[in-house]
Chains A and B, each alone.
Chain A
């Protein structure tokens, strides 16, 4: 939104507390803005018709949930910068507000210079870019329920504060690229480019040329030069993906570059300094490749200045409610509709799945269920049949392990132990896997004396 240079920008203050509203008005006026105060969502809706240049919104309103009001306002006025102000210093609220379309989020007590400085900045055309950058960086502020993700986030925050190489390991679909982007945007290089490139695509020379650039003799004393990604990114960040599938030659080139902090264009002679912040991502199979001697251990150590391991979704089921909420918010915003509700049975069914495709699979499952449910609450009957198909190999009982004839008792015991192992000791999930009731699983545990043997 661009404000006419001759007129004063107006700011709509949606705040039901008179002291806070007075203070906001006072400092808005001191900053050269024209304040208008509304004490409720209803009043604010009328005031929005007057086309203010920015909005300061308190999330705690007497007549409507602040986030619902925010969502509706951003949908109706997509270019209007909205700043959220709240007494709760809670990162998940901040992330939700940004996802709902807020340009920034401030915690009381507000700093007048920061708040109104940001508002003044937003009435110039950089507002949209700022919204995106804050949104990405705030990924690091989410407080996940699962311990594994909280640990990963702690490493990610540390990574954002340094320029060390980062190695992100995780199964496909665990959000490695999103996290790398968040690390970049939360760090000092946020205004510089962030690029990603798949290290295993093409042959070695193609890959080397794309990464380092090329320099060849073009005849008649001419040099043919082409810049590589490292040069293009400059002091920004470069994420090299599928690093576990890089060939031996690429591994060697990368190791030389990381150790010397210099690189040379293919065919060139001059070495240049690496200014980029380098990040790498791969699957946990990288460790196995190292153990089998198929991957350079020295490269692994050079890449992992900070090692960040992202857990698969099946190991962070506690995070499902927040992930589902966030995906439904995304859908609601993209469709300009209300966020759909979900039933308890739907959440239980999601928790029972193995999610081999991780977050990508969850996203497509939620999109499918949301579309099928229409305006009704999303229930387990709206789930796609095949999505998140159970893993049959893990925890399956192999009959060849038994000496024939097999005693039924033995077979039952082995099946139960395998199912419990595969479900991390979760009896409800084990019951689903075995196709029996939860009560039956408890009876089987008692019958086989597994409780005493330390089954969780």
Chain B
């Protein structure tokens, strides 16, 4: 998505977030450019999800809210690029909500991660619709 004079209106700020678990269109686009390498990066990302969640929790428990928020934001960015828009939307909303209930959000994050893992393994195993 590019903010430029030729940008299409559908990309305007404030557009509704994408809640799909896996963005198969983007995956197909990335696959078409570098199939094996892209899948390997996404596999690594999926494998790192739990440790990312732990890292966020540790920062929050240590009272370092700034770092914790940055890590949530970072996870959102990575999830977007790795074709997980639903997880990204959850993290973005969380990072930008100054009054978020962190315990609740961490629990939700675990659920989202489990969902992403399951759908990704399905996409990887049979190439079917992860959503």
Which of A19, A89, A108, A143 interacts with B15 by CB under 8 Å?
Answer: A89
Given contacts A19-B45, A106-B1, contact A141 B81 (CB under 8 A): no
B77 partner, pick from A17, A114, A141, A186, beta carbons under 8 A: A17
Tell yes or no: B76 within 8 A of A by CB: yes
Contact A137/B77 with A91-B13, A109-B26 known, Cβ cut-off 8 Å: no
Contact A109 B80 (CB under 8 A): yes
State whether the Cβ of A62 lies closer than 8 Å to any Cβ in chain B: yes
A427 within 8 Å of B by Cβ? no
Contact B33 A112 (CB under 8 A): yes
Selected contact of A104 from candidates B2, B30, B83, CB within 8 Å: B2
- Taking a contact as CB atoms under 8 Å apart, the answer to whether B78 and A20 are in contact is yes
Inter-chain contacts of B15 with A (CB < 8 A) = 89
Docked-complex contact B5 and A105, CB < 8 angstroms: no
Chain B neighbourhood of A91, CB < 8 A = 3, 13
Which residues on A sit within 8 Å (CB–CB) of B80?
87, 108-109
Q: Distance in Å from the Cβ of B9 to the closest Cβ of chain A?
A: 8
Is B41 a contact partner of A26 (Cβ separation < 8 A)? yes
Q: Is A176 an interface residue (CB 8 A)?
A: no
Please, how many angstroms separate the alpha-carbon atoms of A94 and B5 in the complex? 12
Q: Is B48 an interface residue (CB 8 A)?
A: yes
* Contact yes or no, B34 A30, CB < 8 A: yes
A17 with B13, Cβ < 8 A, contacts A27-B34, A104-B4, A133-B5 known: no
Please, how many angstroms separate the alpha-carbon atoms of A187 and B6 in the complex? 8
How near does chain B come to A61, taking the closest CB pair, in angstroms? 9
Pair A110/B81 contact, Cβ less than 8 Å: yes
Given A60-B73, A108-B81, A26 and B13 contact (CB-CB distance below 8 Å): no
Residues of B contacting A26 in the complex (Cβ-Cβ under 8 angstroms): 34, 37-38, 41
What B residues does A88 contact at CB under 8 A?
92, 96
Assess whether B21 is interfacial by the CB under 8 Å rule. no
Report how far A13 CA is from B127 CA in the complex, Å. 32
For B5, B15, B67, which residue has the most chain A Cβ atoms within 10 angstroms?
B5
Do the beta carbons of A137 and B92 come within 8 Å of each other? no
Chain B min CB distance to A253 (Å): 32
| CB-CB under 8 A for A23 and B81, given A89-B15, A112-B30, A134-B5 | yes
Is B88 positioned at the interface, with any CB of A under 8 Å from its CB?
A: yes
Q: Say whether A111 faces chain B, with CB atoms less than 8 Å apart.
A: yes
Check A138 for interface membership: any CB of B closer than 8 A. yes
Also in contact, A114 and B13, with CB within 8 A (given A17-B74, A60-B74): no
**Closest CB pairs A-B (n = 10):** A87-B77, A137-B5, A19-B45, A109-B80, A108-B80, A19-B78, A94-B3, A107-B1, A91-B13, A17-B78
* Contacts A/B (CB < 8 Å), 10 sampled: A16-B74, A19-B41, A87-B80, A88-B92, A89-B11, A89-B13, A105-B3, A107-B3, A108-B1, A112-B30
